[in-house]
Amino acid sequence: MEAERNFGFDTRMIHAGHIPDTQTGARAVPIYQTSSFVFYDADHAAELFDLKQYGHIYSRISNPTVAVFEERLAALEGATGAVAVSSGMAAQLAVFMTLLEPGDEVVSSAHLYGGTVTQLTHTLKKMGIAVSYVDPTDIGAWEAAITPRTKALYGELIGNPRGSILDLEKVSALAATHRIPLIIDNTMATPYLCRPMEFGATIVVYSATKFIGGHGNSLGGLVLDSGKFDYSRYPAIAEPSPKYHNLRFFDTFGHYGFLMKVRVETVRDTGCCLSPMNAFLLIQGVETLSLRMDRHVDNALQVAKFLEGHPQVAWVSYAGLPSHPQHALAQKYLPRGPGAVLSFGIKAKSGEDLRLTGKHFIENLKLFSHLANIGDVRSLVIHPASTTHQQLTDEELRECGVGPELIRLSIGIETVEDLLWDLDQAFHAL
């Protein structure tokens, strides 16, 4: 008898989580565009509502199309399971709302997407949760910021937009020493380039809107859990839940307790569910993930090299370049390449405002789309200081490493020579 086969990444990204429909023979994942599901009988309904049997009740909690997306990403990530939500921001908030209580604290990398900084700084404050930010490259700063109230460490593997690389093993070892979970946003790498749980991360979140979906047509987010963390000292997970007749999620569901709590309490009560239609579109993106990411990374490295040698560029930040301070970490954690998002500083003419120079440069691009997104098959450009990070103070901008000269590129899968031409002609236009 043959041993159970461990299928490869490409096979799992096409097949995991779905068996062809036995009634219709449909090969593609169907879109179950329904709000609710019929119960077999009254006992079946009661068991579903009491969490004694798995099944679908209402699409705000779970849905068959969404379930395929969840199981497929869990298989690619090597996670115990996944819960899909309406966006990457919803994924982050669902984790914090499930895990933390008023009075708890979070230590976070300072190199984050601007919207994440706003959520952590202001939204969590309303929940009575304090966040302190540290230089992600300084492990001593992480250690010094941890207090008895610290209940989570948080960071982006590839910092947005400066492209710093988090030393996963060191930060996860610190988290393990203090018996607190390490939460990693892996949006820019995807599970194809890196699986943070293999280096000690507890929870991984994604904006599936970006490279996972890959086509700029759908919003979605994911929460994945390693299933290896002991939540017994986290009251929100371990203590009796009054919403389910004092059921104890960690005792009852074990390694899946955290995700069950995310699904049947946080997502149910906040309504941040993923729609079946968006789940279907995101699944289409997943099925070409590795092929797209290989092209994204190849193109990004060529663009970074071009910019590094250009006389009108002050600096380039892309960890695929040997000049990047975390180049060695990128080779360790991201051997296939450190994603396809990079930033550079444009030089201004004598006395010219750097923001104005950046504006003129972007306006002269012809192939790059000027919009607030990353991870599209199309190449994208933005000036963070005046857009994605404009809500931050000057001090917060400096902490994030975002200066007025910084321009962020998300490199698509076009013919790379055309991208280089577009950048070059925009420089000439200045």
Domain boundaries, the chain: 33-286, 289-429
Distance CA(309)–CA(312), nearest Å, equals: 9
Q: Is the pLDDT of residue 1 over 50?
A: no
Distance CA(34)–CA(56), nearest Å, equals: 11
Distance CA(277)–CA(274), nearest Å, equals: 8
Beta strands in 68-173 (DSSP E): 81-85, 105-109, 130-134, 150-156
**pLDDT tens-digit series, residues 65-112:** 999 999 999 999 999 999 999 999 999 999 999 999 999 999 999 999
Cα distance from N-terminal residue to C-terminal residue, the chain: 69
Could you give the count of Cα atoms lying within 13 Å of 65 in the half-sphere of its Cβ? 23
Q: Is the pLDDT of residue 394 over 70?
A: no
Return the sign of the alpha-carbon dihedral for residues 319, 323, 326, 328: positive
Average pLDDT over residues 280-307: 98
Helix axes 416-429 and 354-364, enclosed angle (nearest 10): 130
Beta strands in 208-252 (DSSP E): 221-225
Q: By the 8 A CB rule, do 352 and 340 touch?
A: no
Q: Is the pLDDT of residue 134 over 70?
A: yes
DSSP string of 256-270, one letter each residue: GHHHHHIIIIIIHHH
**pLDDT tens-digit series, residues 204-242:** 999 999 999 999 999 999 999 999 999 999 998 999 999
> What fold is seen in the domain 33-286?
Aspartate Aminotransferase; domain 2 (3.40.640)
Distance CA(5)–CA(47), nearest Å, equals: 34
Instruction: State residue 389's pLDDT score.
Output: 65
Q: Is the pLDDT of residue 403 over 60?
A: yes
Instruction: State residue 162's pLDDT score.
Output: 80
Distance CA(269)–CA(125), nearest Å, equals: 20
Q: Which CATH architecture has domain 289-429?
A: Alpha-Beta Complex (3.90)
Percentage of the residues of the chain whose pLDDT score is greater than 70: 96
pLDDT confidence of 353, banded at 50, 70, 90? Answer: confident
Give the phi and the psi of residue 343 in degrees, each rounded to 5.
-130, 155
**What is the length of the chain?**
430
Which candidate, 214, 213, 178, 224, places its Cα nearest to that of 71? Answer: 224
> Scanning the structure block, which residue is given the tokens 């194809």?
192
Distance CA(290)–CA(302), nearest Å, equals: 19
Those residues with Cβ within 8 angstroms of residue 255's Cβ, 6 or more apart along the chain or in another chain: 80, 225, 227, 228
What DSSP designation does 255 have? G
Tokens of residue 183, six digits: 């939460």
Mean of the per-residue pLDDT values for the chain?
Answer: 94
Distance CA(196)–CA(198), nearest Å, equals: 5
The region of weakest confidence among 76-85, 349-358, 377-386 is 349-358
Give the phi and the psi of residue 271 in degrees, each rounded to 5.
75, 20
Give the phi and the psi of residue 184 in degrees, each rounded to 5.
-120, 130
Q: By the 8 A CB rule, do 178 and 210 touch?
A: no
3-state secondary structure 319-378: CCCCCCCCHHHHHHHCCCCCCCEEEEEECCCCCCCHHHHHHHHHHHCCCCEECCCCCCCC
Instruction: State residue 351's pLDDT score.
Output: 66
Q: By the 8 A CB rule, do 131 and 105 touch?
A: yes
Those residues with Cβ within 8 angstroms of residue 3's Cβ, 6 or more apart along the chain or in another chain: none
Average pLDDT over residues 185-208: 98
Distance CA(96)–CA(183), nearest Å, equals: 10
Which candidate, 372, 351, 350, 366, places its Cα nearest to that of 428? Answer: 366
